């Protein structure tokens, strides 16, 4: 048994997946590991100085070193890779969805050219026509959002359960995602909606 010279607060010395465990720190006469806080100004010279000092004190052990921030970063390499993969996949999915919405908007606008011409003759304004054309796409996005939210919530909750220290999934995270999806959809289809809504009604009524 040794003498207790101090008590410190609990801290997490493992990954965020692990609970905080009891820890006792000892001063060993024959140590082979040393933690040193150094300046980042001139790391190569500092390492050479540390190696020289190490060889003078503990010549029996080879000098090797790692940086603590790199060691902690290695704990989360899997999550970082998954983040990059899912980020790229999400970007690709958004691009494909935008192309699909743009094509669907073009098709819908062509199908309703005469209807829009008649509505303009009857006094409909451009903002009202754009809102009418965008309404169907808004409903589709909201249906997709309603399906995606439970799946996303379950997936994220299951993944976060593997961490002892984790955030709570707040409702506003999904609200922001839904808002962004709506904005992206509106931007994708508004060009076609605006083009058809501003067409001369005479040309629209002649459209076959």
Provide the mean pLDDT of the chain: 83
CB atoms within 10 A of CB 192: 22
Give the span between the Cα atoms of 196 and 126, in whole angstroms: 9
Q: What is the pLDDT of residue 175?
A: 92
Cα end-to-end span (Å), the chain: 96
Residue 196 and residue 113 in contact, taking contact as beta carbons nearer than 8 Å: yes
Q: Is the pLDDT of residue 206 over 70?
A: no
Give the span between the Cα atoms of 160 and 181, in whole angstroms: 24
Q: What is the pLDDT of residue 143?
A: 92
Q: What is the pLDDT of residue 84?
A: 93
- H or E segment and range at residue 178: helix 171-197
Q: Is the pLDDT of residue 15 over 80?
A: yes
Q: Is the pLDDT of residue 37 over 80?
A: yes
Q: What is the pLDDT of residue 7?
A: 87
Q: Report residue 118 as tokens.
A: 């008649």
Q: What is the largest CA-CA distance in the chain?
A: 98
Over residues 65-97, the pLDDT tens digits come to 899 888 888 888 888 898 899 999 989 998 998
Over residues 186-205, the pLDDT tens digits come to 888 887 777 777 776 666 55
Interval 163-168 mean pLDDT: 86
Q: Is the pLDDT of residue 146 over 90?
A: yes
Which string of b and e fits 92-128 if b means at least 16 CB within 10 Å? eeeeebeeebeebbeebbeebbeebbebbeeebeeee
Comparing 204 with 58, the larger pLDDT belongs to 58
Radius of gyration of the chain (CA): 31
Residue 184 and residue 94 in contact, taking contact as beta carbons nearer than 8 Å: yes
Give the span between the Cα atoms of 106 and 189, in whole angstroms: 8
Helix axes 171-197, 77-111, angle to 10 degrees: 30
CB atoms within 10 A of CB 141: 21
Among 47-61, 97-111, 172-186, the range with the most confident prediction by mean pLDDT is 172-186
Q: Is the pLDDT of residue 147 over 90?
A: yes
Q: Is the pLDDT of residue 109 over 90?
A: no
Secondary structure (3-state) at 167: coil
Q: Is the pLDDT of residue 4 over 70?
A: yes
Q: What is the pLDDT of residue 85?
A: 94
Q: Report residue 74 as tokens.
A: 């290695």
Q: How far is CA 180 from CA 93, 94, 176, in A?
A: 14, 11, 6
């Amino acid at each position: 048994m040794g003498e207790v010279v101090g008590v410190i607060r609990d801290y997490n010395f493992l990954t965020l997946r692990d609970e905080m465990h009891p820890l006792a720190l000892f001063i060993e006469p024959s140590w082979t590991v040393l933690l040193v806080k150094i300046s980042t100004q001139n790391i190569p010279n500092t390492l050479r100085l540390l190696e020289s000092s190490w060889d003078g004190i503990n010549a029996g052990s080879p000098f090797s070193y790692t940086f603590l921030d790199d060691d902690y970063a290695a704990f989360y390499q899997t999550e970082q890779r998954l983040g990059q993969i899912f980020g790229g996949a999400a970007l690709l999915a958004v691009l494909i969805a935008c192309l699909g919405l743009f094509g669907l908007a073009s098709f819908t606008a062509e199908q309703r050219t005469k209807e829009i011409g008649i509505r303009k003759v009857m006094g409909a304004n451009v903002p009202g026509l754009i809102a009418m054309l965008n309404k169907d796409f808004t409903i589709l996005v909201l249906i997709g959002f309603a399906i995606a939210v439970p799946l996303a919530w379950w997936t994220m909750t299951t993944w976060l359960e593997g961490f002892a220290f984790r955030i709570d999934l707040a409702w506003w995270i999904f609200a922001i995602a839904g808002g962004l999806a709506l904005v992206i959809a509106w931007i994708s289809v508004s060009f076609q909606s605006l083009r058809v809504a501003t067409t001369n009604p005479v040309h629209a009524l002649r459209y076959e």
